[in-house]
Amino acid sequence: MNEWQIRNRRRAAGQRLGIAVVVIAVLAGAWVWASMPDDLSPGPTAPEGTTSEGTASESTASEGIRPADRAVIDRVIDGDTVDVLLDGAVTRVRLLNIDTPETKRENTPIECLGPEASDFLAALLPVGSTVSLEYDVERADQYGRTLAAVFTSDGQNASVAIAARGLGYSVLFEPNDRYLADVERAETDARNASLGLFDPSVGCNAG
């Protein structure tokens, strides 16, 4: 066998070896892919603003606002203050973002439509009824009263209901403005309709 034949045989052997290596690699890759578990593929990405469980991250807890409490009306003090039974104890609650005429303040005469505001709240929140207390940033005022928006069982915000009847004024207890806009809108509607405190024939000094 001459030198030319030897080189040709070596070249052919090298080509057969290269083809065999490629075939083996392709078969091995196909086997690995087929044996991969299905759950290794990436799942859907949670929308921005949600946790891995899909719960919105803007919950009241993440905002520093305590979730709502369930309570039972024990007594209506006046148009913007009630006593509730909460966790087995009587708790005094000052309604957020509403201010009604005074009826119980010491050394202060009963103000115009104060009794009417108290009667309206007593009818809205009868003793024994279940309410929801929803909170804002600050939970208590300077007198130790709990600051909360009081919602009836059918979802009415008592502060909004009072303002809508013209029996109170919207007020900001800084920084608690979570429900302020709703109360302000209700007060504006009452003013436009000349209801309650805003009725010229009643004779109250409307602000």
Residues marked active site are found at 94, 102, 145
According to DSSP, residue 55 is labeled -
- Amino acid in position 34: A
**CB within 8 A of 161, min separation 6: which ones?**
120, 124, 186
Assess whether the previous peptide bond of 101 is cis (omega < 30° from 0): no
CA–CA separation, 189 vs 198, rounded Å? 10
- Amino acid in position 180: L
CA–CA separation, 134 vs 96, rounded Å? 9
Nearest to 123 by CA among 155, 87, 76, 174: 76
Half-sphere exposure (CA, 13 Å, Cβ side) for 106?
0
